[in-house]
Chains A and B, each alone.
Chain A
Amino acid sequence: MSLLSIEHLESQFVTEDGLVKAVDNVDLEIDRSETLGLVGESGCGKTVLALSILKLLSENTKINGKIVYKGKDLLKLNDADLQAIRGKEIAHIFQNPLNSLNPVLSVGFQICEPFMLHQNARKAQALREAVKMLNLVGIPLPSERAKEYPHEFSGGMRQRVMIAMGLACRPSLIIADEPTRGLDPTIQAQVVELMKELIETSGASMLLITHDLSLAAELCDKIAVMYSGEILEYADTKEFFKKPAHPYSVGFLESLPSRSMKPIRGTSLSLINPPRGCRFCPRCDQSTKKCKDIHPELKKVKDGQFARCHLYA
């Protein structure tokens, strides 16, 4: 049963160099209690896609398409209705907790905010809930630490605080943007275990944005690989890692330090004026003339795996 359905989504920026198509005609679906991993290198458009869902982008963006959540098209909602959904039904956990937490407000207060906003809780009660959340995410001595400020927490702790803020109102959908970036390996391990536990117990769905394939492997039921604003491959996690279909997916996996660290040649193209044919063609070792001229569509490779590649047309 589909919880979130993204149809023909286009997010474009007007810049002085031209029109940037950060998200170019993307279709995605997330079911209830399902985790989808959106994977790709930086600049591929995954963060823009995530921000488009709750319309958190700046004014010079144009969003077209449909984002249907529980039957309602989010892009057509007025501000008040969208406000009611943000934080309560759909929570967005931002990258980089150091920049995303307000440095002059105590951590406890920041976790109180969603309670006070969405559940009309009074401050005292909200604070009690906030302390409960801090405990849930594994922060020791939660009632004392709730009074402290973000800079008094370490990177891993701040990430947990962000997770606490996100889960406060028991949302049905969590959008987690690079939740483990910049964290030390042992801390990453702690955070990943925590997220696994919380997702299981709360039954929420999650859209995980990451460039870390191993994280996606551990947390996600399905994987969508994004490149240059498009989805190149969409598959069940098991199928994907057993045998990735798209040449980019194959190259991406091989370039990881845990594998052979074989680099993909070339660099990704600018998002302004994308080429006519396949966008990965210039860097692909299996490209043909068809790839240069004709833009491939997303086609089924087998049950549970789709790829945007002429190899499977």
Chain B
Amino acid sequence: MLEITGLKKTFTTGFINKRSAKAVDGIDFCINDHEMFGLVGESGCGKTTVGRLILRLIEPTDGQIIFNGIDLLKLDKKALRNIRPQLQIIFQDPESSLHPRMRIGDIIAEPLKLYDLVSKEGRNVKVMELIDKVGLNPEHINRYPHELSGGQSQRAMLARVLALAPRLIIADEPTSSLDVSVQAQILSLLKDAQKEYGFSCLFISHDLNIIRNMTQRMGVMYLGKLVEIGFTADIFKNALHPYTMALLSAIPLADLLAKRKRIILKEEMPNRMELPTGCRFRTRCNFKDKICETSAPAMVNVGNGHQVACHFPQKA
């Protein structure tokens, strides 16, 4: 349903001293119908940029984005506008993603108004329907975003996005700004909505536990590249890339008292403008060797859709 090939985005700064940072440096993956695909990585890996590139909120520098057979990058402004209802996004910070001077009811109705999908009365009915679906009360319709809590704002955001019945929703860290007690509520709501509306979802997060709970397949990003892709259950059981293993060892376990051996990575992430040669993870890797300095590993399929880009993939 969504096929990404060779997607790249390079940001340049400065007129005279041009410096560039490769936020996304050639990634390939695909998302199937009705599937939740998790995109994991730490800050600076480019996952947020990927979400925006797919929607062309930022223009890619290179690559292909095929959505249901249509190459999104070849569409002109008008055609892109027509296809936008099918591709939607939920942002991380609910406080800044809703228009501060619009009432919730109007915010949710706006997409309907824009595309003239229903009459005015029909709009009101639809808004009430959506409010109910996301667990808000009718009185919230007349409130302003700053009068709602974080969790309520995120519900409103979801209602607005669902108004257009999209085929693909990008959820960009939708619960990272929310308090832990509210996270579970919002995520369970998202899961239910997916079952009912049947959309696919690119779920971007740095929290692996949430990814395990929510997604069927996932990809791990590091400094602009995908290092491992596969079924979520497979990766959790048998992670192959050293970075994935370190990430997994850092997450809280269900048995909080269990003693565990954490894999502590060396150093910090390299500066995006001065990437290491060869494999970009080598500066922090505990398994590196000579070849990692000279050649960047290619993505290799090891079976059952599990792919890894490493010269020395680890077996459990």
Chain A bound to chain B? yes
Q: Which of A100-156 contact B (CB under 8 A)?
A: 140, 154-156
Known: A41-B180, A212-B252. A193 touches B209 (CB 8 A): no
Given contacts A211-B179, A212-B252, A267-B151, contact A262 B184 (CB under 8 A): yes
Chain B, interface residues (CB within 8 Å), range: 35 or more
In the complex where A217-B257, A252-B181, A268-B181 touch, is A257 in contact with B209 (Cβ < 8 A)? yes
Contact A156 B206 (CB under 8 A): no
Contacts of A43 on B, CB cut-off 8 Å? 179
Compute how far the CA of A304 lies from the CA of B207 in the bound complex, rounded to whole angstroms: 33
CA distance in complex: A49, B195 (Å): 43
> Which residues from chain A contact B212 at a C-beta distance below 8 Å?
257
| A214:B181 contact, CB within 8 angstroms | no
- List, in ascending order, chain B residues with CB within 8 A of A286's CB: none
Residues in A259-308 with C-beta less than 8 Å from chain B:
259, 261-264, 267-268
Q: Which residue of A lies closest to B258 (CB)?
A: A217
Selected contact of B262 from candidates A154, A193, A258, A261, CB within 8 Å: A193
Determine whether the beta carbon of B179 is less than 8 Å from that of A259: no
Docked-complex contact A189 and B262, CB < 8 angstroms = yes
Q: Mark each residue of chain B from 4 to 38: 1 if its CB lies under 8 Å from any CB of chain A, else 0.
A: 00000000000000000000000000000000000
B246: chain A residues within 8 A (beta carbon): 186, 189
Interface 1/0 per residue, B255-273 and A, CB below 8 Å:
1110000111101110000
* Interface size of A in residues (CB-CB distance below 8 Å): 39
Kindly identify which residue among B180, B188, B247, B253 contacts A185, using a CB–CB cutoff of 8 Å.
B247
Q: B142 in the interface, Cβ–Cβ < 8 Å?
A: no
Determine the distance from Cα of A16 to Cα of B249 in the docked complex, in whole angstroms: 47
Shortest distance in angstroms between B180's beta carbon and chain A's nearest beta carbon? 5
Is A2 at the interface (CB under 8 A from chain B)?
no
The answer to whether B42 touches A184 (Cβ under 8 A) is yes
B206 touches A263 (CB 8 A): no
A257 near B207 with CB under 8 A, answer yes
* Contact residue among B184, B208, B250, B256 (Cβ-Cβ distance under 8 Å from A189): B250
- Asked whether any CB of chain A lies closer than 8 Å to the CB of B80, the reply is no
A256 within 8 A of B: yes
In the complex, given contacts A185-B42, A263-B188, what are 15 additional A-B residue pairs having Cβ atoms less than 8 angstroms apart? A41-B180, A157-B268, A184-B206, A185-B247, A186-B42, A188-B250, A190-B265, A217-B257, A255-B183, A255-B184, A256-B252, A257-B210, A258-B209, A262-B184, A267-B182
Report 26 cross-chain contacts, Cβ distance below 8 Å, ordered by A residue. Answer: A154-B268, A155-B43, A185-B42, A185-B207, A185-B208, A185-B250, A189-B246, A189-B250, A190-B265, A193-B264, A213-B256, A255-B183, A256-B252, A257-B183, A257-B210, A258-B209, A258-B252, A258-B253, A258-B254, A259-B254, A261-B183, A261-B187, A262-B188, A264-B181, A264-B185, A267-B149
